[in-house]
Structure 1
Amino acid sequence: MGKPVAFSEVTSADAERAQKFYAELFDWKVDADPAMGGYALVDTGDGIGGGIGPAAAPGEAGVKIYMRVGDLDGYLDRAEGLGGKRLVPPTDLPGDFGRFAIFTDPDGNAVGLWA
């Protein structure tokens, strides 16, 4: 069985506007946390979590999916072997949310891994 999509993320130059837009459009519960720089966790109602937050730099706004995997380094190595590039090494998330990493596919699309 393949690895499931476990999380989706929208980043925006105007995160508050994006949070309101997606909450109203899809009836998602969006809970912004000032302690996380205004990043909001999203409850889509279907069991797949999400987040909407500020883009880290100009031009970095977009949509990203995260696959649930057991071995971040192993999947980053596989991605590189298939022509991808590491962007963010395995990194701890706050609280009990686990760890994540990000790579790009051969076309430059950013994809997240979550363990």
Structure 2
Amino acid sequence: MGRPVAYFEVVSDDPRRAQRFYGELFDWKVEEDPSMEGYAMVDTGAGDDAIGGGIGPSQGPGDTGVKFYVRVDDLDAALTRATELGGARIADPMDLPGDVGRIAVLADPDGNPVGLWS
């Protein structure tokens, strides 16, 4: 069985500008989470089956852009498999606030970032 896309993320050097842009362009509800230092959660308003997301600040040079997160059972196993297939580890597994899971980020063979979420 395939793995579902579970989340999207927009990372920007000017997160408030990006939050305003996407919110107004697509009529999304964008709410900043004070505990997450400029990060805002996105509700696309597309119904219960829609994929949610977030828009937040860059954490370092070269990490701006858009990425999607795929739901996996085992982050370490997925990262190992990605490297075997020609990808690379970008961010090791880390816990998300509020006990909503763990994430990690890999680069595909072309360098595109892909998030993993368990």
Is 2:33 aligned against 1:33?
yes
Q: How does 1:1-115 map to 2 (within 5 A)?
A: 1-46=1-46, 47-115=50-118
User: What is the CA–CA distance in structure 2 between the aligned matches of 1:61 and 1:102, rounded to whole Å?
Assistant: 13
* Gap regions ≥5 residues in structure 1: none
TM-superposed CA distance for 1:33, in Å, is: 1.6
Q: Which runs of 4+ in 1 moved over 3 A?
A: none
Runs (5+) with no aligned partner, structure 2: none
Distance 2:77 2:52 in 1: 24
Q: TM-score, normalised by structure 2?
A: 0.93
Displacement of 1:18:
0.2
2: CA distance between counterparts of 1:79 and 1:58? Answer: 23
Return the TM-score normalized by structure 1: 0.95
Contact 1:13 1:58 in 2 (8 A): no
Aligned to 1:86, the other structure's residue is in SS state strand
- 3-state SS in 1 of match to 2:98: coil
Q: Which amino acid aligns with 1:48?
A: I
Residues 28 and 42 of structure 1 are in contact (CA less than 8 Å); yes or no, is this contact kept in structure 2? yes
What is the root-mean-square deviation of aligned Cα atoms in Å?
A: 1.0
Deviation at 1:82, TM superposition (A): 0.1
> Relative to structure 2, which stretch is displaced further, 96-105 or 55-64?
55-64
- What is the CA distance between 1:104 and its match in structure 2? 0.4
Shift of 1:34: 2.4
